Amino acid sequence: MSATVGYYAQESAIVEDGAQVGDGTRIWHHSQLRSGSSVGADCVLGKNVFIDTGAVVGDRCKLQNNVNVYDGVTIGDDVFVGPSATFTNDLVPRAFNAEWIITTTVVEDGVSVGAHATIVCGTTLGRFSMIAAGATVTRDVAPHELVAGTPARTLGWVCRCGQVSSRGQVAPIDPTCEHCLKETQ
């Protein structure tokens, strides 16, 4: 770590003036944090991660290689985003549309997003939900919901620890898995 900043940025990373980065965060090869972006403390940003102006990443997040977080996206604390996952921010994309409108996306605390997943803007991913690799999320995902496919659909429900606690469409009263229940007894 540098004596002047409380985070580490590999020499090929670009952290623009005006980007906020929390203490203990590590930014790896060829990543870029735009001016006006915010990344919390103790995060890990893998190779070639892009954080746009206005994008917010909370504390203790892990963004794997090639993740794109665009303006309008807010990521909570303790979120995992797998390799090459991306977030969109325009519901009506056209190269020639000078008046496009940013549509926001919220990723609540503890969410896991699998590799190559696409999160379409205007959605909220609820606390501790899990998005399978390759999924395309086009609607809100409930807390603890496990979704997969294109478009993403409910497969079941996951515990805070990430283990599947039940299968099916109906949310359980308590999504805690058997292992975690045993630990609390």
Burial of 154: CB neighbours in 10 Å, binned 0-12, 13-18, 19+: middle
SS3 179: helix
**Annotated domain spans of the chain:** 8-89+100-184
Considering the domain 8-89+100-184, what is its CATH architecture? 3 Solenoid (2.160)
Beta bridge partners of 119: 87, 137
Which contacts (CB < 8 Å, 24+ apart) does range 121-127 have? 121/72, 121/73, 121/87, 121/88, 121/89, 121/90, 121/91, 122/91, 127/76
CB 164 within 8 A of CB 157: yes
The pLDDT tens digits along the chain (185 residues) read 444 679 999 999 999 999 999 999 999 999 999 999 999 999 999 999 999 999 999 999 999 999 999 999 999 999 999 999 999 999 999 989 888 899 999 999 999 999 999 999 999 999 999 999 999 999 999 999 999 999 999 999 999 999 999 998 888 888 998 888 877 66
pTM of the model: 0.94
CB 126 within 8 A of CB 136: no
